[in-house]
Amino acid sequence: MKTVVANWKMNVGVRESVALARASLLTLRGRKVIPDLVICPPFVALSEVRKVVARSSANIGAQNMFWEPSGSHTGETSSRMLLELGVSHCLIGHSERRVQLGETDEMINKKVLHALSEQMTPILCVGESKEQRVAGDARAVVEAQLSSALRGVRLHTQGSLFVAYEPVWAIGTNDSASVGDVIEMHRFIRSVLERIFPDAPAGQFSILYGGSVDGENAYGFLREAEVDGVLVGSASVKINQFKEIVEAAAEVLEAQSA
Ligand code: 13P
């Protein structure tokens, strides 16, 4: 399977989200085989977007969540509230939150554990900065992020897990990672996951690539067996671009099923 995750970030209000959700669903029309679609709107638009996607195969994701079910946590949103809104997936540890809001490895670990305990699928984001890549530390950074985020997680008894490899330098820059670098890092991430979860059945984790994915480069990533899908930011709010990405995923799946 191939998964296309749309992270609308803080770029659309409620009305625009409804229109974008409708248009995003239309991109699935008329295809023999369709990718899994996960739409992550801003919190304020979740309930309206839910109405739009209700009778479709698309899933709704949140862009963040807190690690307690309820309590005195001003401004936070719990997984239970999200589940009530039909949210099945949650982005955790996005680099924008790590960098702009000081989200720590410990907080990310608590969120992953909590999401899984609530039967929500975490989309754990990892990735190195430019300086770290230039210094040759990309793998070590990603390995450390995975180890700390997944501390204490028992995947074989809990749900499934998505890991999104999003090199920080490729986010919102039009400078995506090369397909070769992505394949290499995805293989490495898979090997780390297999070491952390020796008993997990094949297919329990999916590895996505994110960072300046657009209509032009999506096919190149998606056709690779190592790439289970893409996590799309800017191009997910430009419907023509998004349509091309969904079509690229559908073409890959159609070729595989032919
Ligand atoms: P861009 O697609 O805008 O580079 O953003 C990627 C991202 O951060 C998705 O979570």
The domain limits of the chain are 3-257
Residue nearest to atom 5 of ligand 1 (CA): 233
42 token code pair = 């801003």
pTM for the model stands at: 0.97
Instruction: Domain 3-257: give its CATH code.
Output: 3.20.20.70
Residue of 232, 236, 241, 244 to test ligand 1 pocket, by largest number of atoms within 8 Å of CB: 232
pLDDT tens for the chain, 258 residues long, are 999 999 999 999 999 999 999 999 999 998 889 999 999 999 999 999 999 999 899 999 999 999 999 999 999 999 999 999 999 999 999 999 999 999 999 999 999 999 999 999 999 999 999 999 999 999 999 999 999 999 999 876 556 899 999 999 999 999 999 999 999 999 999 999 999 998 888 778 999 999 999 999 999 999 999 999 999 999 999 999 999 999 999 999 999 988
212 Cβ closer than 6 Å to some ligand 1 atom: yes
Q: What is the DSSP string of 49-115?
A: HHHHHTTSS-EEEES---SSSSSS-TT---HHHHHHTTEEEEEES-HHHHHHH---HHHHHHHHHHH
